[in-house]
Amino acid sequence: MYDFKPDPALNTAERYRQLCNAVDALTSDEPDCVANMANVAALIWEFIPDLNWSGFYRVGASKSGDKELVLGPFVGRPACIRIPLDKGVCGAAVSTGETQLVEDVHAFPGHIACDAASRSELVVPVLRDGAVVAVIDLDSPNPERFTSEDAAGLEKLALLLSDRV
């Protein structure tokens, strides 16, 4: 049994540090990227409070052969399966290669609502050999849930996952 229960009193930086340690412990020796993404989505859910979705979209091929985002392992309500790279917060993270911290999803042009309860969102790209291969997507029902500390913590996690997803 894996029992990674964070102390509720942890500050944000320490919470992400412990999350990264738990992720490293579960993924360092596992070559299957689906298993790794599934455990990481579950660990994020355990460690990071006030989320209604945590998971992955991977850069894959569309039916016509173009690149687009394809739903990966996640915790939360069922989500849209395919996202064009020029759409939504996730698409913006891929096309810019940069973290998207959205305090109010209703104010983000083109935001894709998979769960009407979502109010804020944090999306961090995962890069391998300089190219975005996936994004980590966190949604919250709370407005302005995510801070630059969350972004920095999730970016460290994305670095760790570069060759594991």
At CA 38, angle to CA 152 and CA 7, rounded to 5? 55
Strand ranges across the sheet with 53-61? 82-84, 67-76, 53-61, 131-140, 120-128, 100-102
Check residue 44 for interaction with ligand SME (CB under 6 A).
Answer: no
Check residue 150 for interaction with ligand SME (CB under 6 A).
Answer: no
Q: For residues 154 and 13, is the Cβ–Cβ distance under 8 A?
A: no
Check residue 83 for interaction with ligand SME (CB under 6 A).
Answer: yes
Which one of the spans 10-18, 19-27, 34-42, 107-115 is the region binding ligand SME (CB under 6 A)?
Answer: 107-115
Tokens matching residue 153? 């913590």
Q: For residues 131 and 160, is the Cβ–Cβ distance under 8 A?
A: no
Q: Which of 43, 44, 47, 137 binds ligand SME (CB under 6 A)?
A: 137
Check residue 112 for interaction with ligand SME (CB under 6 A).
Answer: yes
Q: How far is the CB of 62 from ligand SME (least distance, A)?
A: 16
Which stretches of the chain bind ligand SME, using CB under 6 A?
53, 79, 83, 88-90, 111-112, 114, 118, 121, 137, 139
